[in-house]
Amino acid sequence: MDLRHLRYFVAVAEEENIGRAATRLHISQPPLTRQIQQLEEELGVALFIRTPRGMELTQAGELFLEEARNIRALVEQATERTQRAGQGKLGRLDIGIFGSAILDVIPKLLLNFRNCHPDVKVVLHTMTKAEQIEAVRQRRISVGFNRMLAPLDDIVIKQVATEGLLVALHADHPLARQSVIRFAELKDHPMILFPTGARPSFIDKVMGLCIENGFQPQISQEVGDAVTGVALVASGFGICLVPESATTLQFPGVIYRRLTDPPPNLIVDLSCIYRRGDQSPILAAFLQTVDDYRESASEQVD
């Protein structure tokens, strides 16, 4: 049996007349007669009663008509869904994130992506940098977001955004009276660092800046992520260098101050990683969204 047989059968059943059905199908009458005979022979069942007036469905034919319509609808649906999946408009995208990336850029990106691709199910997985790399390799996630990424052969790193650094400090802190702070002034003030875990990380960025400015930081506490860091600032444990997006966190008593030095020293990048050679149309669509985001972000700067 063939989908052609079903198409022909439905036409004949609807027209109740082989000649008219043949016209509708843009073929001549004899081949259609033969196809219907073949179908009946293959099923071993009479689907039609031949009357002088035309073709009339048997009970078995009535039943088969329903089934044939179902099958044809399902085929059409399968075709359409598969095509949408091939265009990255249907399916699932697993994304690896880490603590502070969720604060600003990722929500905006996801919002844009879901507007264009409402039928792609986005699943977020919180994981460390090392876990993300491993998960990308094993295809458990298609894309991961992180900072301070070192080049790898099998993984592409694509910069998503750059953010300036701010100092988070308590309103009672001596430096809080200044509207702008020079980096060197941070010397001798206890500092909260994050994240713990795999190096190189944001910690190394901060340590490097301190050394460039001629001092070793006084480490008050090492914590897992920016959220915890700012929470400790609110509790008076010290100051904390954070990316701009951390201003989303408005803990009581915490204020953010800009540093005087200009880029490129006082910026930190946010990048995404994905498997080199990954052909997934959903990933491609997501990376397109990332590009669009970067463009619109740089336009805002202009």
Give the C-alpha separation, 210 to 232, whole Å.
Answer: 20
From 28, 34, 49, 208, residue interacting with its own copies (rule: CB under 8 A): 49
Binding to DNA, residues 38-57 (CB under 7 A): 38, 50, 52-55
Using the rule CB under 8 A, is 4 a contact of its own copies?
Answer: yes
From 34, 92, 137, 199, residue interacting with its own copies (rule: CB under 8 A): 92
Residue 247: HSE in the Cβ half-sphere, 13 Å Cα cutoff: 11
Residue with tokens 């809080």: 176
Packing angle between helix 3-15 and helix 59-86, nearest 10 degrees?
130
Binding to DNA, residues 52-91 (CB under 7 A): 52-55
Position 65: which residue type?
L
Using the rule CB under 8 A, is 114 a contact of its own copies?
Answer: no
- The DSSP bridge pattern shows strands 90-97 and 119-126 to be parallel
From 2, 62, 204, 291, residue interacting with DNA (rule: CB under 7 A): 2
Nearest distance from residue 244's CB to DNA, in Å? 43
H or E stretch including 82?
helix 59-86
The one segment of 56-64, 108-116, 209-217, 222-230 that binds its own copies by CB under 8 A: 56-64
Residue closer to DNA by CB (options 36, 192) is 36
Nearest distance from residue 91's CB to its own copies, in Å? 5
Nearest distance from residue 89's CB to its own copies, in Å? 10
- Tell me the β-bridge partners of 267: 164
From 3, 34, 62, 121, residue interacting with DNA (rule: CB under 7 A): 34
Using the rule CB under 8 A, is 43 a contact of its own copies?
Answer: yes
The one segment of 28-36, 57-65, 249-257, 280-288 that binds DNA by CB under 7 A: 28-36
CA distances from 258 to 13, 252, 264 (A): 77, 19, 14
The one segment of 41-49, 162-170, 248-256, 291-299 that binds its own copies by CB under 8 A: 41-49
Cα 157-162-166 angle, rounded to 5 deg: 135
Region of 242 please: left (phi>0), alpha (psi -120 to 50) or beta.
beta
Please enumerate in sequence order all residues whose Cβ is within 8 A of that of 102, keeping only pairs 6 or more positions apart, or say none.
Answer: 124
- The DSSP bridge pattern shows strands 155-170 and 267-275 to be antiparallel
Name the residues that contact DNA, by CB under 7 A: 2, 4, 16-19, 26-31, 33-38, 50, 52-55
Name the residues that contact its own copies, by CB under 8 A: 1-4, 43-47, 49, 58-60, 63-64, 67-68, 70-71, 74-75, 77-79, 81-83, 85-86, 90-92, 279-282
